[in-house]
Amino acid sequence: MKRIALVAASLVAVFTCSDVAQAQATSSNETVAFEAVDGFDRTSYGGVLDVTGVVRGDGAASRLRLMTSYTDPEKVAGCERMALLAMSRPGYYVLAVNQTVLRAADGTLAGRYLVSCGLSRTVP
């Protein structure tokens, strides 16, 4: 009986520690809004996106580099289509690019990056 109680207590401690570790895993989001998009480049191996353009609030063009591991290829293709549309009509669209970086419980990078995009039309 004591063994069963000891095993049960050990299992509760193990599951509680793993739940706490999972709860401490964090993510950080960064969203950048481009008022004008000058370029969109996807590397040949598919792990990096470069978006070049004028960020809302800035006066000059800049480049944003995004890692795309763990991002659905269809979402990356959708971002590319939205960027092309924003490039075709500068000033008519705002391209919002969001990157979520997932971190392990100890604060180190988990190597997982999620990218998403959104396109909105500005009032002419």
What integer best gives the mean pLDDT of the chain?
Answer: 77
Please tell me the predicted confidence (pLDDT) of residue 92: 92
Q: Is the pTM of this model over 0.75?
A: no
Order the strands of the 93-103 sheet from edge to edge.
61-67, 48-55, 26-42, 93-103, 109-121
Phi, psi of 50 (to 5 degrees): -120, 125
Buried residues in 17-46 as b, exposed as e (16+ CB within 10 A)? eeeeeeeeeeeeeeebbbbbbbebebeeee
Q: Does the domain spanning 25-121 belong to CATH 2.60.40?
A: no
Domain ranges for the chain = 25-121
List, for residues 62-100, the tens digit of each pLDDT value.
999 988 877 788 888 899 999 999 999 988 999 999 988
